[in-house]
Amino acid sequence: MSADSTGRSGVASGTKPVLSVKDLCVDYYTDAGRLRACDNVSFNLYPGQRLGLVGESGSGKSTIALALMRMIKPPGRISGGRVMVGDDDLTAMSDNEMRSARMRLIGMVPQAAMSALNPVIRIRAQIQDVLQVHEPNLTYSQVQARIIEVLEAVELRPEVANLYPHELSGGMKQRVCIAIAVALRPKVIIADEPTSALDVIVQRQVMETIGRLQREMNIAVVLIGHDMGLMAQFVDHLAVMYAGKLAEIGPTPTLFAKPNHPYTHMLISSLPTLGQKGVFRGIPGITPSLLALPTGCYFRTRCPYVMDVCSSEAPTQVAFDGGHVASCHLSSVPGGLTGRVEAERDAEARLNPANAEKGTGEAGPNKTGGFS
Amino acid sequence: MTALLELRNCSKVYKSGFFSPKVTVALDDFSLTIDEANPTITAVVGESGSGKSTLGSLLMGFIGPSSGQVFYRGKDMTTLSGAERWQFRQDVQAIFQDPFAAYNPFYTVDHVLTVPIRKFGLARNKEEAREKMGEALRKVGLRPEEILGRYPHQLSGGQRQRIIVARAMLLKPKIIVADEPVSMVDASLRATILESIYTLHKELGVSVLYITHDLTTAYHVSNQIVVLYKGSVMEGGEVSNVVKQPQHPYTRLLIDSIPWPDVSLQWGKEPVIKDDGSSPTTTTGCKFASRCPHVMPKCREVAPTFFEVNSQQASACYLSESSPALAKSDLQRVLNKA
Amino acid sequence: MKGFLNYVRRNPNLGIGFLMFAILFVFCTIGYFRYDLAKAAYPLAAPANKPPSWQYPLGTDSQGRELYAVIVAGTFLTLRIGVTAGLIGLATGTVLGFIAAYFRGWVDVVIKSLVDILLTIPGLMVLIIIASATKQAMSITLLALIIASLAWMGPTRSIRAQVLSLRERPFLQAARLSGMNSIEIIFLELMPNLLPYLAASLVGSVTGGIFASIGLEAFGLGAMREPTLGMTIYWVIYYSALLKGMWWWAMAPVSVIIIIFVGLFSLGAGLDELANPRTRRVL
């Protein structure tokens, strides 16, 4: 795959993963009982790779972000599994060791830049804090030089250091957060919906900056979000979360071209494109409560291709070519998901030939009715 | 025929600071007409600071214009009688951006439905009110028994937003101002909510002003579109024309920045030029000049008027100068053809 | 009750506050039944200068008051001054703060300027002047009113800020679109959301009221005949009790004052957290 505007590129496989998550479980203990917000999630991230973590709210994607930073607070806790950054096992570290590993090994770009920055402290001091805590041996002039360096890295003028957060625009604040996240040159950056509060043009600029830094510093990025469009533009691997479990993971082009989990398929086709005007394909129903999960496959209550086996057995992970893994019973059915989707599209075409002609070749499983 | 609601050459100027006030033009010479007989969905697209929310507040009567006039059924808003104001209150409703903030956290979600029923006398008794609430909720795909009696924080964002749509259905207004109704809702749920807004328009003949920064959803929902930048209209017209053949460099930049869910369609054909601040909202020139890749000297002096690119599309850019010129207040003529 | 205990575990301040007042309540109830307060808390009720003993648990003072009885009566009187002054101050402040913030415009300018000007004047000095001028007719109620006269600016300012922050919230726009008028919006939409905040502010105002009353009384500007906690401290100073080795005389009012302030402070911090749960989530 060729490099594009955000600099996404192929990944050299065979190297050692920089971030390795194995059977990660996070539980929250509430008055109503224990709920598992992250259920046996495993994935590897290689140097220079960009992984997208998508899901609806409540799918556990932000829980994973917090768990990777070891920032899960009571009543929640990491109840199993391992998180390795290079050779360091984050889950085995003491709180003190973790404090020094945070930002140094693994940085975070938060969702709300507004509340992540201290409103009464100048930008300079906020970056300085991070540098001094983690690298106490730096001299004053070295610290100042580093501050200017990281600000320039995120395309901000050095004078920004003298401003307060409220004097910056939303995009600039997010850039400051990125500067803080990369100030110690971590191996991995977790970006939790970094652009959800920004306009499209600013979003594109900020993502281009994250992409450029990722390439220049060879950092691995985990981008968390719910916008499949942004994922298509930015990440090279995609993990789809549903109700705390990993539904599907694989290279982005493969997932978009041939998803093997109905949820992935519906997420992609729920987004409007310039194809059929006025056809919306929402995903009906709501995410099940983590306290009252259905038996078998968690997605069966909303799945248009539900089968008998789905309510009795939870699907296991099935591996396809090229590191593509999905947990769906359809994988063991001849033709799989693709077969079902095509059959449905043919049926739709017979019923309504005019509509099918206009189609983008991506007829969704649940047509919610065309209007224009 | 008098229009239901008309903005005529409306501007809104904000001043901040006491001694040397910093002047911001939030909305600049804006005209728009909403007919009762011919309900439409108009998308107003712009980034933050484009004046799109100011426009929403003007239409809902929360603020008045600094200059220009707002007419409701042919009468200037400032001269409405008490009864006419009350009628206006019922006719113009809203769907809010943040589906959580629209609820008073102190009350159950029933509050947003029961209060207007009581205030506007929509039901004779409690049973009828309950029935109507249930009916409206079912229409937007919710089960009343799962919704009524709950507190806002106990429901999901999608559910909260659908209740607000149900509220609008219940009140049967003539105009709905939907200010970023899906920007804070999960992408997978957006389609369902937009669809219920569309149903509202189709079934009840409600005109919708769809305020958004997202051109894709605007393209799918609306008939006509107005692109705002720093308070001024850059381009307007029939939505497919504008989105598929954008004429104004700003519209092109917006469309080029949409993250399409398609791996083969990549970002970045149009370069993004950073705003150097040389075109403040008070400029007499084109407000997009400081970021425009095609900027010409005259752009910085006099702002271009509209040029009628085709019968259904007008662009405020000298690049379209060869097309016939159109007065600012005549944009509606182009929009009406959509 | 179980829910409350669970909550206190997360918000220990609230628990400490309640505990302090429970201790005080038990202590005063015992005293209330043991003594005839109308007599024992006033001079010549007992032999003078007795250290604590079984008969006089907290000792007696130089004028023959029984200190246990003085503390019981004094706690009640001092709390009454504080609560009266705090309530009046907060009520005035709430009304003015709501009017200023909700209607804005010139009303806001007038109220805000008045508050800002009055806040620059040193409060205790003004109180001392007023209290000295009215010294002859001083009573518990008058003292409360004098303190209240300068206790409304803080609440006005903070309530105004709270309402201003709520004012732009979309749910108020929704209420207007639902046809509610200003009065309904203030009382049915805004007020309920400020209840926890008002409770926290009330604790603050009461604390301020008690503090001011003790201060004035220690200067000898209180109601001379009443055995309030502040007046007791005045007598301790007047008779140089500590120089004479009468430690028990000073210890009794000072301990109770500490319990009251620690209790109020914890209660205030606890309610503050209840009103503003964001302080809980520190990154």
pLDDT tens track for C29-38: 999 998 888 8
Residue of A nearest to B48 (CA): A199
At residue B121, the 3 state secondary structure works out as coil
B104 touches chain A (CB under 8 A): no
Indicate if A234 and A332 belong to the same structural domain: no
In a domain, A183, yes or no: yes
pLDDT at B121: 87
Indicate if A321 and A290 belong to the same structural domain: yes
For every residue of B192-211, DSSP letters joined together read HHHHHHHHHHHHH--EEEEE
Chain B neighbors of A281, CB-CB under 8 A = 191
pLDDT at B47: 86
Chain B neighbors of C190, CB-CB under 8 A = none
Range of the domain at A144: 19-245
pLDDT at B269: 65
- Quote the crossing angle between the two packed helices B157-171 and B126-139, to the nearest 10°: 120
pLDDT at C275: 72
In a domain, A364, yes or no: no
Chain B neighbors of C175, CB-CB under 8 A = 104, 115
Residue of A nearest to B257 (CA): A201
Chain A neighbors of B198, CB-CB under 8 A = 278, 371
For chain C, give every domain's residue range: 2-42+58-280
Banded model confidence at residue A354, pLDDT cuts 50, 70, 90 = low
Average pLDDT for A253-274: 87
Chain C neighbors of B106, CB-CB under 8 A = 192-193
Write out the two tokens for B311. Answer: 């019968």
Indicate if A150 and A225 belong to the same structural domain: yes
| Position A285 pLDDT exceeds 80 | no
Write out the two tokens for C110. Answer: 């007038």
| ipTM surpasses 0.90 | no
In a domain, A4, yes or no: no
In a domain, A11, yes or no: no
Q: Tell me how far apart the terminal alpha carbons of chain A are, to the nearest angstrom.
A: 37
B119-175 pLDDT, tens digit each: 888 888 889 999 999 999 998 888 888 889 888 888 888 889 989 999 988 888 999
Question: Which has more confidence, B79 or A356?
Answer: B79
Q: State the smallest CA–CA distance between residue B225 and chain C in angstroms.
A: 25
In whole angstroms, give the CA distance from residue A367 to residue A118: 47
| Position B188 pLDDT exceeds 80 | no
In whole angstroms, give the CA distance from residue A183 to residue A175: 12
C92 touches chain B (CB under 8 A): no
Q: State the smallest CA–CA distance between residue C154 and chain B in angstroms.
A: 25
At residue A224, the 3 state secondary structure works out as strand
What are the beta bridge partners of residue A318? A326
B276 touches chain A (CB under 8 A): no
B90-121 pLDDT, tens digit each: 999 999 888 888 898 889 999 999 999 998 88
Choose the weakest-confidence range: A93-102, A164-173, B278-287: B278-287
Kindly state the DSSP code that residue B145 receives in the 8-state scheme. H
Indicate if A77 and A209 belong to the same structural domain: yes
pLDDT at A35: 86
Which of B48-57, B268-277, C85-94 is most confident? Answer: C85-94
C112 touches chain B (CB under 8 A): no
Sign of the dihedral through C-alpha A101, A102, A103, A108: positive
Indicate if A273 and A241 belong to the same structural domain: no
Indicate if A107 and A145 belong to the same structural domain: yes
Average pLDDT for A230-259: 91
Share of chain B above pLDDT 70, in %: 96
The total number of residues shown for chain C amounts to 283
Average pLDDT for A266-278: 78
Average pLDDT for C76-85: 93
Domain C2-42+58-280, what fold?
MetI-like fold (1.10.3720)
What pTM was estimated for this model as a whole? 0.79
pLDDT at B50: 87
pLDDT at A356: 45
Question: How many domains are contained in chain A?
Answer: 2
CATH number of B5-336: 3.40.50.300
Instruction: Please name the amino acid found at residue C50.
Output: K
Banded model confidence at residue A360, pLDDT cuts 50, 70, 90 = very low
The total number of residues shown for chain A amounts to 372
CB atoms A282 and B156 under 8 Å: no
Residue of B nearest to C194 (CA): B106
A56 touches chain B (CB under 8 A): yes
| Position C73 pLDDT exceeds 90 | yes
B153 touches chain C (CB under 8 A): no
B244 touches chain A (CB under 8 A): yes
Banded model confidence at residue A367, pLDDT cuts 50, 70, 90 = very low
Indicate if A267 and A237 belong to the same structural domain: no
| Position A200 pLDDT exceeds 60 | yes
Q: Which of residues 146-175 of A touch B (CB under 8 A)?
A: 170
In a domain, A372, yes or no: no
In whole angstroms, give the CA distance from residue C173 to residue B179: 13
Q: State the smallest CA–CA distance between residue B114 and chain C in angstroms.
A: 9
pLDDT at A372: 33
Residue of A nearest to B142 (CA): A285
The total number of residues shown for chain B amounts to 338
Q: State the smallest CA–CA distance between residue C267 and chain B in angstroms.
A: 22
In a domain, A13, yes or no: no
A/B interface, count of CB pairs below 8 Å:
136
CB atoms B194 and A368 under 8 Å: no
Residue of B115, B170, B184 best to disrupt the C interface, most CBs of C under 10 A: B115
Write out the two tokens for B254. Answer: 């917006």
Chain B neighbors of A202, CB-CB under 8 A = 47
Share of chain C above pLDDT 90, in %: 40
Indicate if A111 and A88 belong to the same structural domain: yes
C107-125 pLDDT, tens digit each: 999 999 999 998 888 878 8
Share of chain C above pLDDT 70, in %: 97
